[in-house]
Structure 1
Amino acid sequence: MLRRLAPYLALACLAIPCRSALARDNPPTSPTAATAATVSPQAQDLAWQKASAKFAPARKAILAQVAGHVSDGPFRPDWASLKGYRSPAWYDDAKFGIFIHWGVYSVPAFGSEWYSRNMYQQGTKEFAHHVATYGPQSRFGYKDFVPMFKAEHFDADAWAALFREAGARYVVPVAEHHDGFAMYDSKLSDWTAVKKGPKRDVIGLLAKAIRGQGMHFGISSHRAEHDWFFDGGRHFDSDVNDPANAELYGPAVDHLSKHDEILADDWTYVSQSWLDDWLARTAEIIDDYHPDLIYFDWWIGHPTFRNTLPTLLSYYYNEGAKRDGVVVNYKLGDFPEGAGTLDIERGQLTGIHATHWQTDTSISNDSWGYVEHDTYKSPTFIIHLLADVVSKNGNLMLNIGPRADGTIPQGAQDTLRSIGAWLKVNGEAIYASKPWRVYGEGPTEVVGGTFQDTKTKPYTAEDFRFTTGNGKLYAIELGWPAKNKVTVHTVTPDEKVTRVELLADGSHVPFTQDTHGLHLTLPPHPVGSDAYVYRITLAAPLKVSP
């Protein structure tokens, strides 16, 4: 079964040839590197376990808590039970959220948020940049960026106010990225934002500020991938091979796959100890911060997680059932269908999905985390994407990447505020809406699937997306017609229209109906808008998507 598309694994497997080729083409430059090149994945994992041994009592206590309460609610820790999950109403109604990639990788601000991995991948631009800028990885490794991550201008309240102004209804910061640095206060690591770097509980501060603005709070966990993320450093003289750094760099076992596109054929070593630690760390976040949403990146689809995931999901879903429900986002194929909420990364669906889903994309054109000289998507692009996704029963989670000092780039702020201004006027057609019997009409076809969101051609004035709510039909026009006249072909005479209004100002829009559709005579082109919403009243009850 196709479990993952090439773009991620192509990055993940970059510059990791077979061991014999490494020995031939990259002879060890020190005894440390020579030893690392011959150490088995099991031995590398044991080195990490040894470095993390002092956290064993706390880990054991959390796992006992999970075991004792995993079935305290409507769910059991098995896939048959978990397929009874449904996303909660608050999430289905929210439509628009903010994603935040912020961490130590914001310090080098080069390439992408995968700098932490690629700086150890020989032959990459990040590797060359690192050596030229900071020196060899044996003397200056990723760990040495941590003291530079001071977050001196971080203001959780200001961030939350901006996100509220942007029209977001939920916010999801990354609690731990692939780099293994926890942005929260953990009892299971010394490499946290409380103990090093910012010396503050970033996740705790954001949780309070975001909820204080009336939004829901979630977290993103990329801990699973950390098992192998620094493996490139095993193959030359780098600080990854120093046992003193094993707690931060993790096992760093070779991440190898027979086929880039088929995760089921991945034979990367994953120990039970790593799975237990992943479960404990995720449960710790649940118990300490009570997130309303958890977003998992793709590698939890690795077969070794299959027996651990049901325990975590049952524990979390049952905890969420005591309040107004929680969400787990997963990537295509990682869960049995129905056991969570599907996320299409940087992509769209070509039709209405039977259950609620989500797409996530970055406001930045080059990265999820902050990189210097980046550019940003236009408000029009994001608003059109939002309209398309919502018409198909989905949510949009839009990512931003703050600078290491905690400031949000002005270009990102400007786009967020423009989106918020549009939603303030037109949000009636977005928030708490439901799909119509068709999602839309027009000549522009969306390219479906992951990593396709920028491949769709620009929309035109003939492209409409439909939503329903408050007993009304909303037609969202993704352009303005040259002659101020337009026909909505999908609205047939069988659906007798009694009134059409321009939602922006409530003004009446003259119309006629015939077998070719609903013909609108529009007012002069509104200034400064990106999509135009018509509120349509029908004589008979709406026929909505099943």
Structure 2
Amino acid sequence: MKTAHTFPWRRNTIWMVMLAAWHGMSAMAAGATHNVTPPDAATIEQQWVAANHPYDAARQAILAQTQKTAWQGPMQPDWQSLTGHTTPEWYRDAKFGIFIHWGVYSVAAYKGEWYPRHIYERTGEYANYYQHQITTYGPMPQMGYKDLIPRFKAEHFDPNAWAALFREAGARYVVPVAEHHDGFAMYDSKLSDWTAVKMGPHRDVIGALAKAIRAQGMKLGLSSHRAEHDWFYEFGRSFNSDVNDPRYAALYGPAHPGISAKGEDGQEVDWTFVSDAYLNDWLARSSEIVQDYHPDFMYFDWWVGQPRFHQALAEFAAFYYNQAATRGQGVVLSYKNNSMRPGTGMLTIERGQAADIREQPWQTETSISPDSWGYAEGDTYKSPDELVQLLADVVSKNGNLLLNIGPKADGTIPEQAQNILRAIGQWTHANGEAIYGTRPWHRFGEGPTQVAAGTMQDTKTKPYTADDFRFTTKDGRLYIIQMAWPSSGHAWIHSITPSMKVKSVTMLANGAAIPVDQRVDGLHLTLPAQPTGVHVYVYRVDMQQDASETLRKGGDASKS
């Protein structure tokens, strides 16, 4: 008989000593030029706990409900029990979603969403952030990240216009970031005063988006990156910055130093301190999002894989799945790398792809920009061709594409981003039959271009050619997706053999019937005039009845 796991509010003395020593060394280095001694580790923890004291009652109430729900339902908060979860069909059918990184960091519009961390790095690779901050907004400690919040007004934010654009692009679900590493909540939280409701826009941004997204018939996802907040502002501890001011501890968080070392096996081990108090707070904030907004999809960033989060993450997963079950809601919880046990959630590969068909549904998330997730002035953008090719490749391998955009601080979406989304929408409107509701064939595709598989590889794949094809199936039909237009006007697909008995081939973009020649060496198509728009082309293959049955049984290589 298992009992509920609790997280008492206590400090780990050994860790406190280690962190105090680290901060002592930092103080000597900083004091040489600034004559400043940052607070020691114990003081840091005390200040953070004290800053969060006003929310104790609300936190405990949320945690009590979380634990009750986690232990009363089809799932329990252990990894074996959680393998009973299956990915809902709505997600498997959706294929394409929109991610939104929008927050206070959009004010600076300088190189993206990690701006709040890097402005406290005075030397090294990111020193230009610090220089930009003090030149633009003023010296530290008088000015810091907190001082950008009043400038985040979102005066032109129109959630209905956003949702309509995403639907026009062909998205079936939308995932706004509810809180990024910076610790500023874009939703109406009972656990913080540093929220978009109480500061900045003075509006429940997530609540407004949730209503607009669902009104467009799309599913709502929400993203929390709060786990990383434990260390995000660590560089502000090394000199006289506002990160060390206890008045702002509730915003800047513990700001513990990131510590890693190699273990006995030679692999890097994360030794960054995470207190029990912080785990309690993380679990309560994550659960609060679910209780208040009932997202269909919950996204966590990579640091929930840190060992200290494992039990809290299991408790959250059981809570999330069980509360959704009471409403008959099929939900998705994503994870990265090895953060969760396979089968307990849905794997997502950041800015990367899979080399082949994965048995379990999966996702890649990437940004419309190759460089940033949040809005940045002078940013570059990927082409609609590149993004549709990525969509086709991912879907052919049993995955979904979550495509990110970064709105401006005033609430407008950059015009170039809008144009790209509309171009993708024109393609999905004409060719979506080969994407939505499909499943993989027995092979994902063919062609000379090799995908650079794995995390952070999205700009390393070479350009696709007219000899690269991807395959999907639905309702006994096979869909051929050609990644570029052949100058010869001829397509040759090796994987379709004469035994498949093709009845007809139709180009989806214009409904044109394609002349077919089935030979021993594959299927040969004589193509019509090149359609306009995105340069990715789809052909629907109808089989003779017996071949259609063979395709239906053997073509779906995926399993829930």
Normalization by structure 1: what TM-score?
0.94
- Deviations 1:125-167 (CA, angstroms, capped at 9, x unpaired): 2112112222222011111001110000000001000000000
Moved more, 386-395 or 365-374: 365-374
Q: Aligned partners of 1:263, 1:417: CA distance in 2, in Å?
A: 45
Match of 1:427 among 418, 424, 432: 432
1:249 equivalent in alignment to 2:252: yes
Match of 2:312 among 305, 308, 312: 308
1:474 equivalent in alignment to 2:479: yes
- Deviations 1:424-444 (CA, angstroms, capped at 9, x unpaired): 000000000000000000000
Q: How does 1:256-405 map to 2 (within 5 A)?
A: 256-258=259-261, 265-321=269-325, 322-405=327-410
1:106 equivalent in alignment to 2:111: no
Q: Aligned partners of 2:194, 2:380: CA distance in 1, in Å?
A: 31
Offset at residue 18 of structure 1 (A) = 6.1
Contact 1:211–1:217 (CA under 8 A) maintained in structure 2: yes
1:170 equivalent in alignment to 2:181: no
Contact 1:28–1:237 (CA under 8 A) maintained in structure 2: no
- Which letter maps to 1:138? P
Question: Alignment identity in percent?
Answer: 57
Match of 1:184 among 184, 187, 197: 187
Q: Aligned partners of 2:202, 2:244: CA distance in 1, in Å?
A: 27
Query: 1:142 is matched with which residue?
Result: 145
- Deviations 1:399-433 (CA, angstroms, capped at 9, x unpaired): 00000000000000000000000000000000000
Q: Aligned partners of 2:26, 2:52: CA distance in 1, in Å?
A: 29
SS of 2:116 mapped into structure 1: helix
Query: 1:202 is matched with which residue?
Result: 205
- Which letter maps to 2:522? G
- Deviations 1:220-260 (CA, angstroms, capped at 9, x unpaired): 00011111111100000100111111011111111121259
Q: Aligned partners of 1:262, 1:531: CA distance in 2, in Å?
A: 45
SS of 2:58 mapped into structure 1: helix
Offset at residue 19 of structure 1 (A) = 5.4
Offset at residue 23 of structure 1 (A) = 4.7
Contact 1:141–1:239 (CA under 8 A) maintained in structure 2: yes
Q: Aligned partners of 1:178, 1:259: CA distance in 2, in Å?
A: 26
- Deviations 1:82-130 (CA, angstroms, capped at 9, x unpaired): 1122111001100000000000000011122000000011222211211
Contact 2:384–2:534 (CA under 8 A) maintained in structure 1: no
Q: Aligned partners of 2:267, 2:182: CA distance in 1, in Å?
A: 21
Contact 1:257–1:263 (CA under 8 A) maintained in structure 2: no
Q: Aligned partners of 1:60, 1:149: CA distance in 2, in Å?
A: 31
Contact 1:263–1:302 (CA under 8 A) maintained in structure 2: no
1:74–1:264 CA distance, 2 compared to 1 (3 A): farther
Contact 1:347–1:448 (CA under 8 A) maintained in structure 2: yes
Match of 1:158 among 157, 161, 177: 161
- Which letter maps to 1:227? D
Contact 2:440–2:473 (CA under 8 A) maintained in structure 1: yes
Which runs of 5 or more structure 2 residues have no equivalent in the other structure? 1-20
Q: Once superposed, which parts of structure 1, at least 4 consecutive aligned residues long, lie more than 6 Å away?
A: 260-264
Query: 2:522 is matched with which residue?
Result: 517
SS of 1:396 mapped into structure 2: strand
Contact 1:28–1:235 (CA under 8 A) maintained in structure 2: no
1:335–1:264 CA distance, 2 compared to 1 (3 A): farther
Offset at residue 324 of structure 1 (A) = 3.1
Q: Aligned partners of 2:228, 2:349: CA distance in 1, in Å?
A: 19
Normalization by structure 2: what TM-score?
0.92
1:456 equivalent in alignment to 2:461: yes
- Which letter maps to 2:490? K
Query: 2:241 is matched with which residue?
Result: 238
Aligned length: 526
